[in-house]
Amino acid sequence: MEQKQVPNVKVPDRETNDKPRLASKLTVPRVTVRNVYRFFGLFLVVLGLSFYVGWSIVYGTWTDIGLYSFVAPVVVFGLLTLLLMHEQDVEDNRIS
């Protein structure tokens, strides 16, 4: 019996780039304190507006002072949180 000689060729496991192709094109935002505050501010705005619309649809009261007294502070605190994070970003860009 005759044995065939197989050439010793090294096959690369991957390309020279260690990252997968899709992962190299996507950027994942980092979890920072500012991003958590941004999420919280956006959450408050969405919560307040959706609560207002939902309550008004269910109970048919679009002009309820009690509803305003709950929704207004929630939305205002959310907007102020988003504004504060924006101003801090502007200040950091001005400094650096």
What is the full per-residue pLDDT of the chain (96 aa) written as tens digits?
566 776 676 655 555 555 566 666 777 778 899 999 999 999 999 999 999 999 999 999 999 999 999 999 999 999 999 999 999 999 998 987
Question: First-to-last CA distance in the chain?
Answer: 76
Q: How far is CA 87 from CA 9, 30, 53, in A?
A: 59, 19, 30
| Both tokens assigned to 26 | 């996507």
Residue spans of the domains in the chain: they are: 32-95
Q: Which amino acid is at 34?
A: R
Q: Which pLDDT belongs to residue 13?
A: 57
